[in-house]
Chains A and B, each alone.
Chain A
Amino acid sequence: MSIPRAAQALLLIGGLFAVVAASGAAEVGVTPWPTTAEQIRKGKIDVGKKYGMGTDQRFHRIHESTLGLECAACHADRIPASARTFSVPPAVDVSQASPGPVDRRVCQGCHVGGPARDVYGSQRPSEVKQR
């Protein structure tokens, strides 16, 4: 299931474009994401210390409140078969995961050698600075 390098590049660009377009963060006057990410890392922007996926917790405070991503930037009603990550067994009610499952290709836009910490890139776990 490997994808050709050219397709990977398109995927990354497409993912990033989708996120930026949905968030409106590319508008004039908005702090660029790399700067924001750096400020978060340095503690200049308070995103809380409560690690979790709740909307009041750090993950969504970074991605939604601080970076301005809208729900639809990550969550989708439908994920195309080509992007399937084989993630949800039939016994799980995904409708509870409102507002929909996440297409993780979107994450790659920033988390592969981008402004955000490297999650899917070449950096090994031991090379990533732990909190």
Chain B
Amino acid sequence: MPRYGMVIDLDRCVGCRACMEACKVENNTPQAIFWMYLFRFEEGEFPATRISFLPRPCMHCDNAPCVKVCPTGARYKRDDGLVATNADACIGSRYCVAACPYGVNSFNWKEPKANYYLDWSAPSAAQALKPVTAGAVPPYDNPDLDRKWGKEQRKIAGGGHRQGIVEKCTFCVQRVEKGLKPACVTACPVSALEFGDLDDPASAVSRRLRSDRSFRLREDFGTEPRVHYIGAARAGTGAREIEQPKGATA
């Protein structure tokens, strides 16, 4: 049984956010919900400024607080290490949202749309894309998201993003089950992200972990994340986010 994990090289990351885009297209996540989010930090004062980036997927922790607090067992740890959410068992308590120190969980307050990127039924959209697609409708509506996966046969790949349930990064379980890497890893133009079996010494993730000093986010919480960061280009304590959340004062 593989022990899946991810390595993110901060020295390679250029902050292009292709990972975020790939995640959204693959998983059709609702507006304002980012399973993968890339934080951009700046520090110093002009002209001595420095910018750094931090891609943040779910950490798929070995000692996951979200699994501990879930009242229904909808959030669980798979044998391969993926922390999954059974959409059929989630009651939307949001305990996982409160417990996760990385803020990776999102609650669906509204009934999501089937396709966030384009309403293919709208004549204007079809007209605009006709020259590009020759009239064909690209399969953005990913049927894999509604399928049941794993030995438990549970709806864990997004489950259609139903209203009233919590969702988060799945490491693209629907791709991993097919032997593919998560969409964010595949899309990264500078190979800053790597995914694979942490127990396999020959895997790319293991090799990259051996080659550099690594750290994990908020290890003081004892969550034992499966996402490892390497590289020296990490934000300092005086760093501030370039984009602040709306309404934030800090």
Contact = CB atoms under 8 A, between A and B. Distances in A.
Query: Are these two chains actual partners, yes or no?
Result: yes
Interface of A: 1-3, 8, 11, 51-53, 57, 59, 77-82, 85-96, 102, 104, 107-108, 112, 117-125, 128, 130-131
B149 interface: no
Contacts of A131: 71
In this complex, which of B63, B73, B221, B238 has the most chain A Cβ atoms within 10 angstroms of its Cβ? Answer: B221
Interface in B191-250: 215-223, 234, 237-241, 243-250
Nearest to B109: A96
A35 B97 CA distance: 27
A120 to B, nearest CB: 5
A94 B32 CA distance: 12
Nearest to B215: A1
Contacts, number: 119
Contact of A59 (B95, B219, B244): B95
Interface string B18-54: 0000000000000110100101000000000000001
B71 A117 contact: no
Interface stretch (B98-106, B115-123, B139-147, B153-161): B98-106
A53 B105 CA distance: 14
Nearest to B106: A92
Contacts of B222: 112, 120-122
Contacts of A128: 68
Contacts of A53: 93-95, 97-98
A91 B17 CA distance: 15
Residues of A contacting B: mostly: loop
Given A79-B250, A80-B250, A95-B246, A119 B65 contact: yes
Contacts of A102: 98
Residues of B contacting A: mostly: loop
Nearest to B236: A81
Given A77-B250, A88-B245, A89-B245, A1 B98 contact: no
Contacts of A119: 65, 68-69, 99
Given A59-B95, A81-B239, A102-B98, A94 B245 contact: yes
B157 to A, nearest CB: 21
Contacts of B218: 1, 85
Nearest to A85: B101
Nearest to A117: B68
Contacts of A108: 221
A52 B56 CA distance: 26
A15 to B, nearest CB: 11
A62 to B, nearest CB: 11
A107 B221 CA distance: 10
Contacts of B237: 81-82
Nearest to A121: B222
A16 B63 CA distance: 22
In this complex, which of B39, B65, B239, B244 has the most chain A Cβ atoms within 10 angstroms of its Cβ? Answer: B65
A104 B69 CA distance: 14
B180 interface: no
Given A85-B218, A87-B103, A94-B245, 11 more contacts: A1-B234, A2-B220, A11-B220, A85-B101, A92-B245, A94-B247, A120-B223, A122-B63, A124-B62, A124-B63, A125-B64
